[in-house]
Amino acid sequence: MIGYTKVIHKICFVVLLTAAMFGCAGVDNSKLLTETDYRPAYHFTPLANWMNDPNGMVYYDGEYHLFYQYYPEGNVWGPMHWGHAISTELVEWEHLPIALYPDDLGYIFSGSAVVDKNNTSGLKTGEEGVMVAIFTHHSMEKEKAGTHDHQYQSIAYSNDKGRTWVKYKGNPVLENDEKIHDFRDPKVMWHEASQRWIMTLAAGQQVKFYTSPNLIDWTFASDYGTGVGAHGGVWECPDLFPMKVEGSDEEKWVMIVSINPGGPNGGSATQYFIGDFDGKTFTSSQTETKWLDYGTDNYAGVTWSNAPKDQKLFLAWMSNWHYATEVPTYTWRSAMTLPRELLLAKKNDAYLLKNYPIAAMETTDNNIFYNLKNAENEVEIDAEELREAQFHCSVSFDMSESNEFEIFYGNDSAYIEIAYDKSLSKMTIDRSQSGYDFKGMNDNIITFNCTPDADGKLEMDMWVDKTSMEIFINKGEEAATFLFFPKKEFSNLRFKTGNNGSIEKLKAMRIE
Ligand code: FRU
């Protein structure tokens, strides 16, 4: 009897050892994830509680300022403040005290900030350049009273590099006389040719332009938006700026407008227009709706004012109003997208606004944990680093002889599936099996059109950070940003091309 038990023990030991050495089918050793595992490692998040739009993004004296819609007392939207952080390179952030608190005129909604270099406002008091924030005051009392004039524009200024802010005594500087229900999110820029400040303001499903010599007295100039672009929801957070077309001297004006709902794949999204602006009026011959990002989680993004070398640096809120208040993080809510550089290109005679993470996000070769040696048509990455879910994967497919490829990212029970069909020029991203249910929106398959370059190559960059993926095609010709909240860690990343296709390059790097 004893001998028999010993034999059974021996057999069990051998079986367990073999399983441990070679992995055992059916044994799932992925870690169960908790809220702490969901906090992004390399994206901006508030230390605690609710955040939405980026606000007042401005560069001054070596510091990038990021203000943001913030409710410090709860994890859902509430009385809005401007939270504040600074960075010298847009990668590491230092949290600063709240910059603007709600007051008698209302909550502090979205807006912008500028450096008033010539002190046109007369608000400069010391040696430092004066920074002026232009934002919407939102009165809850008036909103409840239903008077429709509950949103108006105000300013605040700082003479100590953005550390403390004083609200202007004469607020608001732009009243809502026409009683436009949605009248908000001023983005202000200096227009050299007319020597005026230009305010681009969202008003219902349009934008309105105002001009000012001093940031205080504003005059209506024109509006734009009727019959153009997408109109499935209210327009919010516009931005307007000139850009040179890559590789040429041609200058065009870019206007970014967020829309909610009415995005191409459900809920909130960001559209753009390319045209001309003469200091008062925006014109464009664009007939189709253009999207800056086709994913579900890139909203309210605008560019930094006064950025060095006139770079157009963009950052957005990485969420969607459809489900933002319900995502499964409780001590904090929401992250920003990666900071991205915008470039204006021309492809097949059409203007294209490209967006791609800034160069400072790239990591060193020491962080590479997978590097493909020879072209293959199937690759599987099962590295330990993958489980930490903070990586950048850069892959190049040769599609000249092939019609499709597929990407799987997941574990044995949950996953994201990405598929490309060249004959339809169509990319599809399916996060319906990724874990958490996004109030039904995860059943929407994210789709967009894209094509390989002239040599048949399609490049794809995936930036994964715990619960988000930002995908860029051909270095930002198309982008798709989306959230996912797996219950167990994703431990497997697979790439597969159709017949005659190949994966030519594939590199995966850990991002700290
Ligand atoms: C966009 C937005 C803005 C508004 C702010 C309020 O997400 O709705 O239009 O100013 O959020 O928090």
Q: What's residue 27's pLDDT?
A: 54
Q: Report the separation in Å between the CA atom of 280 and the middle of ligand 1, taken as the mean of its atom positions.
A: 25
Q: What's residue 30's pLDDT?
A: 79
SS (H, E, C) 330-358: CCEECCECCCEEEEEEEECCEEEEEEEEC
Testing ligand 1's pocket by substitution, the residue of 100, 110, 259 carrying the most ligand atoms inside 8 A of its CB is 110
Testing ligand 1's pocket by substitution, the residue of 185, 322, 334 carrying the most ligand atoms inside 8 A of its CB is 185
> Is 382 an annotated catalytic residue?
no
Catalytic residue from among 28, 37, 53, 223: 53
Q: Report the separation in Å between the CA atom of 50 and the middle of ligand 1, taken as the mean of its atom positions.
A: 13
Pocket (CB within 6 angstroms of ligand 1): 52-53, 69, 80, 109-110, 136, 184-185, 236-237, 300
User: The tokens of 260 are what?
Assistant: 């909610």
Domain ranges of the chain: 43-359, 364-510
Q: Report the separation in Å between the CA atom of 198 and the middle of ligand 1, taken as the mean of its atom positions.
A: 20
Residue 58's nearest CA partner among 301, 313, 335, 341 is: 313
| Closest C-alpha to ligand 1, atom 9 | 236
Q: Report the separation in Å between the CA atom of 185 and the middle of ligand 1, taken as the mean of its atom positions.
A: 7
Q: Report the separation in Å between the CA atom of 299 and the middle of ligand 1, taken as the mean of its atom positions.
A: 10
Residues 54, 56, 180: CA angle, nearest 5 degrees: 85
Q: What's residue 1's pLDDT?
A: 29
Burial 360-398 (b: 16+ CB within 10 A, else e): ebeeeeeeebbebeeeebebebeeebbebbbbbbbbbbb
Q: Report the separation in Å between the CA atom of 109 and the middle of ligand 1, taken as the mean of its atom positions.
A: 6
Q: Which residues contact 116 (CB under 8 A, 6 or more apart)?
A: 123, 124, 129, 130, 131, 132, 157, 215
Residue-wise pLDDT for 311-324, tens only, equals 999 999 999 999 99
| Closest C-alpha to ligand 1, atom 8 | 236
Q: What's residue 14's pLDDT?
A: 38
Residue-wise pLDDT for 100-154, tens only, equals 999 999 999 999 999 999 999 999 999 999 999 999 999 999 999 999 999 999 9
Distance separating alpha carbons of residues 32 and 486, to the nearest angstrom: 9
Looking from the CA of residue 237, the nearest atom of ligand 1 is 9
Testing ligand 1's pocket by substitution, the residue of 184, 200, 258, 315 carrying the most ligand atoms inside 8 A of its CB is 184
Instruction: Please tell me the CATH code under which domain 43-359 is placed.
Output: 2.115.10.20
Q: Report the separation in Å between the CA atom of 342 and the middle of ligand 1, taken as the mean of its atom positions.
A: 23
| Closest C-alpha to ligand 1, atom 6 | 109
Distance separating alpha carbons of residues 433 and 264, to the nearest angstrom: 21
Sign of CA dihedral 152, 156, 161, 163: negative
Residue 188's nearest CA partner among 217, 173, 221, 210 is: 210
Testing ligand 1's pocket by substitution, the residue of 55, 67, 68, 69 carrying the most ligand atoms inside 8 A of its CB is 69
Distance separating alpha carbons of residues 312 and 57, to the nearest angstrom: 11
Distance separating alpha carbons of residues 123 and 165, to the nearest angstrom: 12
Tokens 């809920």 map to which residue? 267
Contact of 393 with 506, CB cutoff 8 Å: yes
Instruction: Please tell me the CATH code under which domain 364-510 is placed.
Output: 2.60.120.560
Residues in the chain predicted with pLDDT less than 50, given as ranges, are 1-26
Q: What's residue 499's pLDDT?
A: 87
Distance separating alpha carbons of residues 3 and 364, to the nearest angstrom: 58
Of the chain, the end-to-end C-alpha distance in Å amounts to 57
Looking from the CA of residue 202, the nearest atom of ligand 1 is 9
pTM (whole model) above 0.85: yes
